[in-house]
Chains A and B, each alone.
Chain A
């Protein structure tokens, strides 16, 4: 999906009012300097591509944050702000059930979601 036609003001507002707090709740106390790397994005569309990948794709050591509350919010935000966006399809009832049964937060997941926060912060600064 090409994110260039999204309503970035709407996305920034949704991030600032909802997603940001959800991400903070997940990474409580973890600091950017605790990790040796970070993920950078150049422009708005690049940021959303990387946000989608880090949010919905499985990675070594971190099954998928896709079942977390911030992921559900991210999906709803993109669907509302990006024409024709359907995103990674996860059965909604399955997602809601799984969100109640929180995942074990591996260090890899904390690192991944910390990078996700940095992508959202960057997107906010350039929107």
Chain B
């Protein structure tokens, strides 16, 4: 019953669910040079299939489809060569979630700790990761929490720190085939204030002659 052995089987497919806003499905075309596959899909078993309205092309041939989605739910689709189905499948788009990168980071300093908060993505079972380092650190250090209210302690407020954030879907609720979000932009903080950069202050502190 599994689609493992058929040509164009699951292993030649990639699915990415961009924050439950759009789903990108791409297929490996190298084994089928010169064929323009069509992609049809629906979100409800009882619906009629509808054609892809936004193909992804590779060397001029269809290699994927980008479709808009509204919610966490099922996706039914078929990849066809003319009327001949190459692969017909249904899946849970949540299993391929790539959350949006965290936005509106805000910093609340208290002595040697900072609490980083960011805007909620509107769905559950996520892991928020905040990384920080100074110019002298080669490696980022991570702190994680299940809400976007992460406290990082053991900091020296006098130092200038780089911060960045990302979101991951928790495996027990989404499975093991999700993608972490992209990192947020790096933010610089010193003495409880936003800085443009950490390089000048740390490497070339102002000397009073």
A residues apposed to B, CB below 8 Å:
15-16, 20, 31-38, 40, 107-108, 111, 117-118, 121-122, 124-127
Contacts and interface: CB of A to CB of B under 8 A. Distances in A.
Interface in B73-121: 73-74, 87-92, 94-95
Contacts of A40: 73-74, 92
B175 A36 contact: no
B90 A36 contact: yes
Contacts of A107: 1-2
B92 A124 contact: no
Contact of B2 (A36, A118, A124, A127): A36
Given A33-B15, A40-B74, A111-B1, A124 B173 contact: yes
B49 interface: no
Contacts of B13: 33
Label chain A's interface by main secondary structure: helix
A108 B90 CA distance: 17
B93 to A, nearest CB: 10
Contacts of A122: 72, 92, 94
A36 B123 CA distance: 26
Label chain B's interface by main secondary structure: mixed
Contact of B174 (A34, A37, A125, A126): A125
A118 B175 contact: yes
Interface of B: 1-4, 10-11, 13, 15, 72-74, 87-92, 94-95, 123-125, 172-177
A115 to B, nearest CB: 10
A107 B87 CA distance: 20
Contacts of B124: 124-127
A56 B4 CA distance: 27
Contact of A117 (B15, B72, B175): B175
A17 to B, nearest CB: 9
Nearest to A61: B1
Nearest to A108: B1
B72 A33 contact: no
Given A107-B2, A111-B1, A124-B125, A38 B92 contact: yes
Given A111-B1, A124-B125, A124-B172, A36 B89 contact: yes
11 contacts: A31-B176, A34-B10, A36-B87, A36-B88, A36-B90, A121-B173, A121-B175, A122-B92, A124-B172, A125-B72, A126-B124
Nearest to B6: A36
A55 B198 CA distance: 56
The 6 closest A-B pairs by CB, nearest first: A124-B173, A36-B3, A20-B172, A33-B10, A40-B74, A32-B95
B190 to A, nearest CB: 39
Contacts of A35: 1-3, 10
